[in-house]
Amino acid sequence: MFTRKGDSGETDRPLAGRVSKGDMMIEIEGEIDFLISLVGFASTMVEWQDIREDLEKVQIDLFTIGEEILTSGKRRVLDGSRVSWLETRSVEYKREAGKVRLFIVPGGSQQSAILHVARTSARSLERIVVRYKDSIYTTQTILSYLNRLSSLIFMHAVLANKRNGISERIWDIGRES
């Protein structure tokens, strides 16, 4: 619903009161929200329960990261075990995928394509948090989580094509087209 309170370009921020919608914290919050939504969309596109469950857990982790950053760690915080979970899941999927070449051209199946979009959004969020890390509250756990997240989603995308029987298109760096 609308309140009209934001019509002048300001919004409420937890523990900070009214701030400009151009504030760096609002930019971070917006990127987190965007990624949560993309991950949710991707989870509706994949047909495999294991990947859907991963994506649903990632959404909750992202909400926690948003709360932790916005409240300077005064409320819920991301547990370090979540980074280990990302690593474990990525390694499990890598075993299933086999040899993975870098510079995969996103596409193949719709499932893989939307997962690649979510992966690039995860990288964008990571870059924004790193850009502002000296001016905002963040932790090594958050930075590590955001770095590992795109790896997990990359593996999801690779497996979406593999499980659909679709070969990846590879862009070979340094090779003439």
Q: What is the pLDDT of residues 71-127, one digit of tens each?
A: 999 999 999 999 999 999 999 999 999 888 778 888 999 999 999 999 999 999 999
Average pLDDT score over residue span 57-73: 95
Return the pLDDT at 44.
97
Q: Tokens for 158, please give them.
A: 């690779």
Return the pLDDT at 15.
65
Average pLDDT score over residue span 119-145: 96
* pLDDT at residue 67 is higher than 80: yes
The length of the chain in residues reads 177
Go through the domains of the chain in sequence order and give each one's CATH number: 16-86+95-170 (1.20.1200.10)
Taking the whole predicted model, whether its pTM rises above 0.85 is answered as yes
Return the pLDDT at 37.
98
Instruction: Give burial (CB, 10 Å; 0-12/13-18/19+) of 63.
Output: middle
Could you give the CA distance from residue 89 to residue 152 in angstroms, rounded to a whole number? 7
